[in-house]
Amino acid sequence: MSRVGLARCASAIFVLVLVLCTVARGQQPADATLTIRFANDQTEFRVGEIIPIELSFSTTAKKTYLWWRWGGPQYANCSSEEYHVSPPGKDPLSRLKAGVPEAFLCAGSHPGPRYLDSRPHAVSAALNDGVTLRRPGRYSFYVTSLRVIRREGSSYGQVELRSNTLHFQLLVPTPLWEAQQLGSASKVLDDPASKPEERHSALRTLRFLDSPGALAQLSRQLTLPVPLDQQECFDGLMGSAHPRVVLRDLEGRFAAPDAAITPTFLSALADAEFLRSHGPMPACPAAGAKEHAEWRRETGRRYEQLRQIENRLHARAAALVPSKQGLAQAETVRTLVLESGASPPRSAAAKLPGTTLASAFVRLPASQQWDMLLNHWDRADVPEMSRALKHVLDEASTGWQGLRNLALGRLYDLDPENGAAEILAEIRHPHVAYYGATVSAKTLGFLPDKTLPQFDSLLAERLANKDSRTTDLDAGLIGRYATKAILPQVKAVYLQAPGKWSCPAEDGLLVYFLRTDPGFAVAHAGLSTILCTSHAFRLLAKMGLWSKVQPRIVAKLGNSDAFVASQAATVLSEYGDAKAERALWARLRSFHRQWAAKAADFSYNPEPPRPVQGAAMLQAQIVQAIAQAQNWLLDNAQWNDLERLTLGPEQETVAAWRWTSPIYVHLTFFGLEFHADIGYIYHTTDLSLLCAKLAQFPPGTSIQVTGSGPPDQLARIIRTVEQAAERDGLIVQGDTGK
């Protein structure tokens, strides 16, 4: 199942790493303060009303304290604040956290920390996010925060700040007030003209109101196609004081013809059913192997019971597809497609008729069509989708960026004859949106033809048109399909600005010159946009011409512009030979001599001087270029040198990169592309380069190949990698084909 909280938790990893890596929190410092106030100076609230507060951080010290700036309800579930209320309340999601295994609840994509100063730096919050209070009466509370970090040289220590204390009164909510809150929020949610922030505010009102009417509205919102802010709905239902009402409302919406069965809706219903028959998990025992083993077994039992509920709900959802209407049916089908990729996999989507899948796909918004084609194609790859993809190509001329490109690639994969016809039509009359051509030269290059002479004149004319919006595309198509017949025209246009074209245009034209006039290509390769002329450089290497261009790239390593020098390092890592390796080592040693006395400048600093920013970037690129190169593999002595020559935190990264047997090779598919990495260090999208890299490891080294993606394609690539590895004397471990 698509657990809502799991996706939200992933973005908080950096915060978690920071917390784990800092020293133990110290006592409250005298020169940093946290002050809280009620946002509207209001001190009386009704039970169920949002209690807005403002947290303000400041310090009298300069460049000593850093603070994390995130704030607002979207970060509430992984807040760095704790609310201490008297009389005490409850964690709003305590029942869910205590009872459901793997109830991940962390949220947010966090901006980095910044220095704190004497100005008050405010963060908005709501007391309701941290504690639920259901009884009228007088309350007081204060806040402790771990948001602030103290810097001492290159070390960082977490500090805990305690705020002042506030007092407030909770009143009994009247039926009239509750009805007004429900009515106002529902009106906003039912109005298509409402702004996103207005709708979000309305959902939060309903979440904390927690009345029967509010819960019914939250359940309904979860079943709207493309629902807004699913997490607020989910948290409101799971944190409700009326779990039986929640379960009844969710069950009531399940079979409604106009109710879309969304992934979050299924999560909420599964959790509600699970919690009906399960109390809190026992606390993890502090000691005792036997007690720990029993606790783990109980966790496993609960997980399996929850999975059985989820599987049953998916089977019910699949049976209800014919009774769903319009967008509700399309969203339900999409949910089944997405959830069929769960682990262990579910088969509900596989049982859907192809016509149903195709019909649902056509009704989905462009963003969801794009997601299905990019990330879930292996579950939607049925013959009936051919017509649906053709529909996208006809309708999405200026739609979601990348949708037509993906749709045409998938159509060619599914139905080569019709796909080829569409490619030829697109080459002749490319569709253009505000960002340029809607289909890439790479996708239009799928045809097996070596050249397409019938397009020579057309492409040359479009390239010469200074007002053309398809210049990048046409340059790529010329590189892929044009014949030598138009070489004079293309040269003349190129020489109007040699080396100063955009990345894709420069790349495409250099590829064309390599096919038609290699000497001219060599003379101009690497003049400027070196990092993004990847196709041309790859062809140069295959043609045995790289050594003629490499000195030009090596010279850029010494450029005073750190960005240019970094680009050169990256290119040399991918294509360079032994001379390039020596040049990179020499540049790193020179860099070390220049900056070793200022090594402290490379420790984490949220506001580093511009020279230090450039230097840190350059060091990172040079070190990465040496460590992750295509054409050489470091031995232990070289790893020692690389670690010794690296300054600052980057040194720890180098230490972690050292390879040990077994080597893990992971294969994935991203849209139309195959991706591979070795030991999470070396990355490539070329199968032959992957095999060549593996051949550099000493005979007897063990490898383990894993992967995810379309089963047939994945199995074929895994076999190729394993066979190549065995030929080179490597040992293939385990059952890697699964």
- Residue 341: exposed, middle, or buried by beta-carbon count in 10 A (0-12, 13-18, 19+)? middle
Looking at per-residue pLDDT, the higher value among 102 and 236 belongs to: 236
- Residue 224: closest CA among 339, 338, 328, 334: 328
pLDDT one-digit tens code per residue, 468-483: 999 999 999 999 999 9
- Three-class DSSP category at 381: coil
| Neighbour tally for 169: CB within 10 Å | 12
Phi, psi of 120 (to 5 degrees): -70, 125
Predicted confidence (pLDDT) at residue 17 exceeds the cutoff of 50: no
Amino acid at 582: R
Rounded distance, CA 354 to CA 325, Å? 17
Amino acid at 505: A
pLDDT band, very low/low/confident/very high, at 417 (cuts 50, 70, 90): very high
Rounded distance, CA 180 to CA 186, Å? 10
pLDDT value of residue 401: 73
pLDDT value of residue 350: 61
pLDDT one-digit tens code per residue, 44-72: 999 999 999 999 999 999 888 988 876 55
Domain ranges of the chain: 4-171, 192-211+221-352, 366-448, 663-732
pLDDT one-digit tens code per residue, 628-684: 999 999 999 999 999 999 998 888 889 888 888 899 999 987 766 788 989 878 889
Partnered with residue 677 across adjacent β-strands are 666, 683
CATH match for 4-171 among 2.60.40.10, 1.25.40.10, 2.40.240.20, 1.10.4100.10: 2.60.40.10
Do 689 and 541 contact (CB within 8 A), yes or no?
Answer: no
- Helix, strand, coil share of the chain (percent; to 5): 55, 15, 35
Rounded distance, CA 163 to CA 65, Å? 17
Predicted confidence (pLDDT) at residue 11 exceeds the cutoff of 90: no
Predicted confidence (pLDDT) at residue 107 exceeds the cutoff of 50: no
pLDDT one-digit tens code per residue, 266-320: 999 999 999 998 888 877 777 777 888 888 888 889 989 998 999 999 999 999 9
Q: How many CA atoms lie within 13 A of 506 on its CB side?
A: 20
Per-residue pLDDT, averaged over 400-406, amounts to 86
pLDDT value of residue 10: 35
Do 371 and 402 contact (CB within 8 A), yes or no?
Answer: no
- Which region holds residue 294: left if phi is over 0, alpha if psi is between -120 and 50, else beta? alpha
- Residue 183: exposed, middle, or buried by beta-carbon count in 10 A (0-12, 13-18, 19+)? exposed
Looking at per-residue pLDDT, the higher value among 585 and 11 belongs to: 585
Under DSSP, the state recorded for 152 is: E
Do 620 and 588 contact (CB within 8 A), yes or no?
Answer: no
Rounded distance, CA 380 to CA 617, Å? 42
Under DSSP, the state recorded for 75 is: G
pLDDT value of residue 24: 43
Per-residue pLDDT, averaged over 216-220, amounts to 96
pLDDT band, very low/low/confident/very high, at 225 (cuts 50, 70, 90): confident
- Residues present in the chain in total: 738
Amino acid at 216: A
Q: How many CA atoms lie within 13 A of 214 on its CB side?
A: 31
Mean pLDDT of the chain: 87
Radius of gyration for the alpha carbons in the chain, expressed in angstroms and rounded: 30
Per-residue pLDDT, averaged over 175-180, amounts to 96
pLDDT band, very low/low/confident/very high, at 324 (cuts 50, 70, 90): very high
Peptide bond into 344 cis (omega under 30): yes
- Residue 106: closest CA among 206, 24, 14: 14
Rounded distance, CA 541 to CA 181, Å? 68
Rounded distance, CA 659 to CA 696, Å? 12
Rounded distance, CA 262 to CA 231, Å? 12
pLDDT value of residue 120: 92
pLDDT value of residue 96: 83
Predicted confidence (pLDDT) at residue 3 exceeds the cutoff of 50: no
- Three-class DSSP category at 222: helix
Per-residue pLDDT, averaged over 392-403, amounts to 76
- Three-class DSSP category at 345: coil
pLDDT one-digit tens code per residue, 28-45: 788 999 999 999 889 999
Do 32 and 147 contact (CB within 8 A), yes or no?
Answer: no
pLDDT one-digit tens code per residue, 338-358: 876 555 556 665 678 999 999
Calculate what percentage of the chain has a pLDDT beyond 90. Answer: 62
pLDDT value of residue 287: 72
Give the chain's end-to-end CA distance (angstroms, integer): 20
Peptide bond into 322 cis (omega under 30): no
pLDDT value of residue 291: 81
pLDDT value of residue 490: 97
Helix (H) or strand (E) holding 141: strand 137-145
Q: How far is the CA of 498 from the CAs of 465, 501, 506, 524, 528, in angstroms?
A: 17, 7, 8, 7, 9
Do 508 and 472 contact (CB within 8 A), yes or no?
Answer: yes
pLDDT band, very low/low/confident/very high, at 685 (cuts 50, 70, 90): confident
Per-residue pLDDT, averaged over 382-399, amounts to 85
DSSP calls for 654-703: HHHH---SSEEEEEEEETTEEEEEETTTEEES-HHHHHHHHTTSPTT-EE
Predicted confidence (pLDDT) at residue 585 exceeds the cutoff of 90: yes
Calculate what percentage of the chain has a pLDDT beyond 70. Answer: 89
pLDDT value of residue 14: 34
Q: What dihedral do alpha carbons 261, 263, 268, 271 form, nearest 10°?
A: 120
- Three-class DSSP category at 627: helix
| Token pair in block for residue 589 | 């040693």
Do 710 and 377 contact (CB within 8 A), yes or no?
Answer: yes
Amino acid at 506: E
